[in-house]
Amino acid sequence: MTTPAPLSLLDPDDATLRRLHDRLERDAHLDGLLDLAYTTVPTPVGELLLVSSAEGLLRVAFDLEDHGAVLTGLAARVGPRVLRSDGRLADATRQVEEYFAGRRRSFDLALDLRLVSGFRLDVVRHLREIGYGSTESYAEVAAATGRPAAVRAVGTACGHNPLPVVVPCHRVVRSDGTSGGYLGGPAAKDLLLSLERSAA
């Protein structure tokens, strides 16, 4: 009769699994075998998914977008080698936490903007120029990007912003001052605007 393996070999503890994961993460990074790294951050607007490529932060996703579906889509579009890497995203995580604590007014992160192009890219670039605690109307953003008639297209571009919160599409509001639509939902947009007004 064969002697069963010790339980410790069959059921590695959390510390062992963490060490194995950390080694896999380190080796994949050093060998250039990682297409995308991700982590999650709890925030007042729900858990945010942060995804990074070698070039920089690529995607921020809200809970309601379905993090698993977001990662699956990115794996198909960018590359299939995807791994949770809290360490690689530590700086992004820290900055997001500082923002929600009211201690950060702008993000200092390398960004990978490959998920947007054309007019949407122009809009995303302009969004980074809207100051903390300030807002612009969709019409003002359209004018600033050189296409004053493209008000509806600005709304679409904001709705497809791959880096909400970090690239502040929540600062774009309707001409009458009401908040308008938002990828994370109206409550999330209102919370972000209130946070910035109170900390400004």
Under 8 Å between Cβ of 130 and 137:
no
- Is there a catalytic annotation at residue 158? no
Residue type, 198: S
56: Cβ contacts below 8 Å, ≥ 6 apart? 109, 110, 111, 112
* CA pair distance 92, 112, nearest whole angstrom: 13
What sections of 130-183 are H helices per DSSP? Answer: 138-144, 151-159
- Residue from 169, 173, 183, 192 carrying the catalytic annotation: 169
Residue type, 108: D
Which residues are the active-site residues?
Answer: 169
